[in-house]
Amino acid sequence: AQSVTQPDIHITVSEGASLELRCNYSYGATPYLFWYVQSPGQGLQLLLKYFSGDTLVQGIKGFEAEFKRSQSSFNLRKPSVHWSDAAEYFCAVGEGNYQLIWGAGTKLIIKP
């Protein structure tokens, strides 16, 4: 069965440090891949998405993600985090006209 795994429930990073959030998926073909962010008290907002082509995808707010087919991964990165990046991040995977499958989320905590 298709699945999405975000291995880290919480991650704590110092402000200004780099960030990598992990996402692994189990899917039959190359799926569509998404990262969404949920700020406290808000709905989810799309950060970036990958369908095909260049495996390094740029998103909003300085985020990027890299699709690695051999590792079935789509990790989210940011070179230098800001306090405003504190939020919960969700990876989602889909294919064709099927509904998205969502990861359980990773909560990012920023240390001053």
Partner 1 sequence: NAGVTQTPKFRVLKTGQSMTLLCAQDMNHEYMYWYRQDPGMGLRLIHYSVGEGTTAKGEVPDGYNVSRLKKQNFLLGLESAAPSQTSVYFCASSYFRAEAKETQYFGPGTRLLVL
Q: Which is nearer to partner 1, 70 or 97 (CB)?
A: 97
Q: 18, 36, 48: which is closest to 87 by C-alpha?
A: 36
CB of 51 to partner 1, least distance (A): 6
Confirm or reject binding of residue 109 to partner 1 (CB under 8 A). Answer: no
How many whole angstroms from its chain centre is CA 100? Answer: 14
Q: Which is nearer to partner 1, 14 or 39 (CB)?
A: 39
Distance CA 70, CA 80 (A): 27
Cβ contacts of 44 within 8 Å, gap of 6 or more: 36, 37, 38, 90
Which of positions 40-79 make contact with partner 1 (CB under 8 A)?
41-46, 49, 51
CB of 31 to partner 1, least distance (A): 7
Identity of the amino acid at 41:
G
Residues that bind partner 1 (CB under 8 A): 4, 9, 31-32, 36, 41-46, 49, 51, 90, 92, 94-105
